[in-house]
A and B are shown apart, each in its own frame.
Chain A
């Protein structure tokens, strides 16, 4: 058995301090972003830069919502997030079907689904735009949401998880007269609560961060999401750093908070898939 020598302890402290310093460096951009967002534009342009705001102000955030239409962008982003949850439901439904039913072509279709994970986005980017154009869906919310609605990775995870659902349980529910969809809603979903939670959080984060499709599909500013709006802001108001930092902070801080609250679940989810 190991005995804890003082050499051991010293090494632990050394590693801890090393990680601490590196950790601070990792977080430096975020800290700087948050501090700068509360400074007035004049203070942000100062040399030497101030650390803590000498003049604490909320005017940057006000500006974002009053003049920069960030309220619209927020609304659009939230709409996308809500639709993403519909996609999550469809993924779970498909995963359930692949896991618990034997039907003709099941394995072949599942491999087809997995194959779509290999396709790089750059190849599909242009044709999908053309397809949406044919369907008259460019510059619409539906057009933004539809292409990325479902995903092979989610389907795969749900299939893996739901294959552990006992057949007897499903049989018993069938004998009670329940239809297949009710079995899904009343048996499969509650059992999958933990993975639904993790996928749900990741879906929220992905939806909140969505950038490329809104950028390509939306022509009207009224359809832009937070990230598209922020990128526009940087382009048009390149010198207003406090304003940009406020915009970034608004996008980043909610995610950080959600992440810190749920971090245990998210990290464990990746651990499970990392073990494959």
Chain B
């Protein structure tokens, strides 16, 4: 490796990564597209001649599948409720932390960020225990305060909310950090001018900080939304999609059909529908942001 010429070296340096990315990121898209038009399953895996072309049948079937429909509803539920919650709470905490002048406020960054780096499965296991109807800490606290027990994971609607609480708890830290960095990037002269005009802290935050954070808010919205559209580990570990498909997400549906029922073609069709939804929603967000910027 010592005598690599300057001309050849770059190609050799990028070769391993490019090969891996091509093989495991780019090629799979093409494969997924192709098999979504076939009835590929375990038999097809064993012998390629067992696969037959079925056109758009998978797509039609998937869209009519009640499980899939529930998963779409649930995923939208998660996104519509969860994403704004994440944005508002992380922004709020970022503003509060930034407001603080003492050094201990830096320690708060660590505290709020901690849930984000910990393992999703471990965390889901802990929260399952907290949510336990009879032994869990949460119901115990509620009962001690005079409230009734909540069927955290037993009721189809409540279970969705419980998963959202868990996911928001994990998501706050990362987005908070992004907001803190963005807030620090705002020039102090704006605030000084506002103070000379006699603006209160609240006024300054509302009229200076938040408008100037528009890009950061946009970035956080997009990344959080794309992430939540692929909501998977939490329902997988805590409820397996239940009760009664009450918490199943599109990602979990794809996983179940692909790896439990081995209906590869069918699951691939579902995954492409998700793919298009992500692209569509992202484009809409971009359009929305551009319109706002023009105003």
Contact = CB atoms under 8 A, between A and B. Distances in A.
B264 A123 contact: no
B210 interface: no
Interface string A86-100: 000011011011100
Interface residues of B, number: 98
Interface in A189-230: 205, 208-209, 211-212, 216, 226-228, 230
B79 to A, nearest CB: 14
A15 B99 contact: yes
A11 interface: yes
A275 B9 contact: no
Interface string A157-192: 000000000000000001000111110100000000
B287 to A, nearest CB: 17
B120 A209 contact: yes
A211 B177 CA distance: 25
A90 B201 CA distance: 48
B130 interface: yes
A164 to B, nearest CB: 18
B258 A126 contact: yes
A267 B178 CA distance: 9
Contact of B114 (A30, A49, A211): A30
A150 B15 CA distance: 12
A257 B256 CA distance: 35
Contacts of B6: 101, 174, 180
A263 B110 contact: yes
A22 to B, nearest CB: 7
A241 interface: yes
Nearest to A32: B137
A113 B31 contact: no
Which has the most chain A C-beta neighbours within 10 Å: B5, B32, B127, B137?
B32
Contacts of B127: 29
Given A180-B4, A209-B120, A260-B110, A124 B24 contact: yes
A18 B9 contact: no
A237 to B, nearest CB: 11
Contact of A116 (B21, B93, B113): B21
Given A15-B99, A33-B126, A275-B185, A97 B20 contact: no
A142 interface: no
B29 A255 contact: no
Interface string A240-257: 010011011101100110
A263 B111 CA distance: 10
Given A270-B178, A274-B182, A150 B17 contact: yes
B271 interface: yes
B137 A179 contact: no
Interface string B1-21: 111111101110110111011
A83 to B, nearest CB: 12
Contact of B140 (A36, A49, A93, A127): A49
A181 B258 contact: no
Interface stretch (A40-48, A55-63, A64-72): A40-48
B237 interface: yes
Contacts of A150: 16-17, 20-21
A147 B20 CA distance: 7
Contact of B16 (A49, A90, A120, A272): A90
Contacts of A23: 108, 111-112
Contact of B104 (A16, A112, A130, A270): A16
Contacts of B113: 259, 263, 267
Contacts of B76: none
Interface of A: 2, 11-12, 15-16, 18-19, 22-23, 26-27, 29-30, 32-33, 36, 44-45, 47-49, 90-91, 93-94, 96-98, 101, 103, 106, 109, 112-113, 116, 119-131, 133, 146-150, 152, 155, 174, 178-182, 184, 205, 208-209, 211-212, 216, 226-228, 230-231, 234, 241, 244-245, 247-249, 251-252, 255-256, 259-260, 263, 266-267, 270-272, 274-275
Given A181-B4, A234-B237, A274-B182, 20 more contacts: A15-B99, A22-B93, A26-B111, A27-B111, A29-B169, A36-B129, A90-B17, A94-B16, A94-B17, A112-B26, A116-B25, A126-B259, A128-B24, A179-B1, A179-B2, A231-B125, A241-B129, A248-B125, A251-B118, A259-B110
Interface of B: 1-7, 9-11, 13-14, 16-18, 20-21, 23-29, 31-32, 35, 45, 93, 96-97, 99-102, 104-105, 108-115, 117-123, 125-130, 132, 134-135, 137, 140, 144, 169, 172, 174, 177-178, 180-182, 184-185, 195, 201, 216, 219, 226, 229-230, 232-233, 237, 250-251, 254-255, 258-259, 264, 267-268, 271-272, 274-275, 278
